[in-house]
Structure 1
Amino acid sequence: MKEQQMWHEFISAHPEYQNKTYQAWSYGVEPDELARLTIENIKTATASAFEEYALENEALPEEGELNIILDANEEAVCITKTIKVTVIPFIEVSNEHAYKEGEGDRSLHYWRAVHKEFFNQSYTKKGLTFHEHIPVVCEEFEVIYK
């Protein structure tokens, strides 16, 4: 289903959201797998590099924001609502946040390993240098429609 079709179905079922806006996006790595974890309510958080928002002239996520999660084929799989946003140094991301991201064995060790690799590659492409104190945007969300 395309994002606009999902949005129309959603506001038909939940007219209280008809004046809201949304962002549609897919996860940067393994979009199908992470979308599946989101639909199954295993993945209830995500993280992104703070500095990349400024480079891409993009606003930070905000509490109450709605997102349509897309798979690798840009098909809409669910709608989430952001419930918490914090910006903290990479090295201070908690066990709890790593668990909520729902990936791998859900440990902080796993989270740090895969995110260090992801952020390092992303930073290198953009001419930035990754270090363990980069600010990270930690976002928590709930699925409100699927």
Structure 2
Amino acid sequence: MNKEQQIFWEEFKKQNSNLAEINFGHAWGFGDSSEMADRLANLVLKGEKTTTTGSLIEYEIVNEKVPEVDMTLFDILLNGSDKPVAILRTTNIFVTPFSKVTEEHAYKEGEGDKTLSYWRMSHETYWKRIFKELNIDIDIPTMDVVCEEFEVFWKP
């Protein structure tokens, strides 16, 4: 966590001192580019994006734990310039094959026209690019994905 993120975190804790327990999870942004991080963070701030999806294999590759539901655990959402824009709390997690992601989850991702077909196309395109860069051959329709639902708990 850099200095700006630390100040943001301390302000969040100060503004929410009524909570019995506040634990820091991660500071993170969406996607693999600053443009994508900005675009998706803006959807979150507008209330249009309340879910995200990651490939399980990516968590395994970087040896990162799958997010968990813990009402005392909060993340800092970063924009494309790594500036903090909101505090998020995970409200639900489930793992499912890519091909079994639901219309509801796709809609809550808030991207494009919010349809499942758009979600599948955009995520498959994204993961094909990522896995090609990592030299990983994977069948995307059958791969497991981590579907995370979250709420914006606080924003300045």
* TM-score, scaled relative to structure 2: 0.89
1:4 partnered with 2:6: yes
Structure 1 residues 18, 10: CA separation in 2 closer, same or farther (over 3 Å shift)? farther
Structure 1 residues 61, 17: CA separation in 2 closer, same or farther (over 3 Å shift)? farther
Equivalent residue for 2:132, pick from 124, 129, 137: 124
| 1:38-117 mapped onto 2 (5 Å cutoff) | 38-64=44-70, 65-117=73-125
Q: Structure 2: 5+ residue runs without aligned partners?
A: none
How far off its partner does 1:107 sit? 0.3
Q: State the number of aligned residues.
A: 146
Q: Which residue of 2 aligns with 1:22?
A: 25
Q: Kindly, what percent of the aligned residue pairs are identical?
A: 36
How far off its partner does 1:6 sit? 1.2
Q: Structure 1: 5+ residue runs without aligned partners?
A: none
CA distance in 1, matches of 2:136, 2:62: 13
1:135 partnered with 2:141: no
Contact 1:11 1:18 in 2 (8 A): no
CA distance in 1, matches of 2:152, 2:20: 14
Q: Deviations over 1:66-94 (max 9, x none)?
A: 21110111100001100000000000000
Pairwise CA RMSD of aligned residues? Answer: 1.5
How far off its partner does 1:2 sit? 2.4
Structure 1 residues 50, 13: CA separation in 2 closer, same or farther (over 3 Å shift)? same
